Amino acid sequence: MWSNVKRSEGTDAMAEKEFDPTKVPIRPAATVMIVDDRPDLQVLMIERNPKMVFAAGMWVFPGGRVDPEDADEFHTHCEGLDDAAASELLGVDTDGLAYWIAAIRENFEEAGLLLGRSAGARALPLTELAHERQRLHQREMTFLDIVKNHNLVLDTHAVHYVAHWITPIGGPRRFSARFFVTRPPVHQQVTHDESETVGWAWMSPKEALAAFDRKEMVMMTPTVRMLRCLNLFDSAEQVMACASMNLSDERARVLYEPDGSYTIVLPGESGYEGADQEKENGWVRLRPVA
């Protein structure tokens, strides 16, 4: 998905009825695809509230805007990845780790899944975390407060970067979104927040794409493209093995269909050489390797 906006910005689209599309700032965002074998390959999809300004009523992956506080004091609570390594993976000068923190935080906020563990051998206090999630929604505490309160270790080493999409000019919200993929935490249940998200489902990529084609699920084109990438794999284990390789980026292009619709294609796919390079800005590194 592209990022959702901060809750304090509200959900009233009328507030942004008038804007200059050429001056809309591009905001950093992070989203994470949670994949699992159930027993076939499935991915977690969540349904956004139809009253939201951005991606209203769409089916997306959990994710959101990278907030400034996502760069605060998290490094001591991250396992296997520091800011230098994260920034190198993303091709940014600094604060790359904040994208991983945003992906983990938004997954906790929107889907109720905490991609982390308690330090030592202690089990996660799931009941207490559920209560603190509500306080986080109400802005009574920060995600860093929760991490520090329970001495959590965030699974940044198991969250792999796989794509980068920039929303086209035209809308009241634009985002530079980094896509990640990981496995779901054990002994935790998905729960939507009844605010930004109003539903969820585990679906095979094939099922989700078929529902999109039947117009039963509304999705943005990058979401559809990433589902098509997942559909090239037979299992979550294969997806994670590929994602951990940090392959080179492949530039996405747009292939127009006779009926006016279009498909995002990658190198090696039919029509790529003559496809449009301007309509969508995306780079994908998730693909099967022989």
Q: Helix/strand/coil (H, E, C) string of the chain?
A: CCCCCCHHHCCCHHHHCCCCHHHCCEEEEEEEEEEEECCCEEEEEEEECCCCCCCCCCEECCEEECCHHHHCCCHHHECCCCHHHHHHHHCCCCCCHHHHHHHHHHHHHHHCCCCEEECCCCCCCHHHHHHHHHHHHCCCCCHHHHHHHCCEEECHHHCEEEEEEECCCCCCCEEEEEEEEECCCCCCCCCCCCCCEEEEEEECHHHHHHHHHCCCCCCCHHHHHHHHHHCCCCCHHHHHHHHCCCCCCEECEEEECCCCCEEEECCCCCCCCCCECCCCEEEECCCCCC
pLDDT of residue 9: 36
User: What span, in angstroms and rounded, lies between the C-alpha atoms of 119 and 123?
Assistant: 9
User: What span, in angstroms and rounded, lies between the C-alpha atoms of 262 and 268?
Assistant: 17
Q: Give 202-223 pLDDT, tens digit per residue.
A: 999 999 999 999 999 999 999 9
Q: Of 24-28, 137-141, 168-172, 280-284, which range is least confident?
A: 168-172
Q: What are the tokens at 223?
A: 């979401």
User: What span, in angstroms and rounded, lies between the C-alpha atoms of 180 and 243?
Assistant: 9
Instruction: Please identify which residue in the block is written with the tokens 């349904």.
Output: 47
List the chain domain ranges: 7-204
User: What span, in angstroms and rounded, lies between the C-alpha atoms of 242 and 89?
Assistant: 15
The CATH number of 7-204 is: 3.90.79.10
For residues 287 and 269, the answer to whether their CB atoms sit within 8 Å is: no
Q: Give 28-71 pLDDT, tens digit per residue.
A: 999 999 999 999 999 999 998 766 655 567 899 999 999 989 88
pLDDT of residue 146: 95
End-to-end CA distance of the chain: 28
pLDDT of residue 22: 67
Percent of the chain at pLDDT > 90 equals 70
Arithmetic mean of pLDDT, 141-167: 95
What average pLDDT is seen over the chain? 87
> Roughly what angle, to the nearest 10 degrees, separates helices 83-90 and 97-111?
90
More confident residue, 11 or 82: 82
Percent of the chain at pLDDT > 70 equals 88
Q: What is the band of 252 on the pLDDT scale with cuts at 50, 70, 90?
A: very high
75-100 burial code (b ≥16 CB/10 A, e <16): eebbeebebeebbebbeeeebbbbbb
Instruction: Please identify which residue in the block is written with the tokens 């980026």.
Output: 249
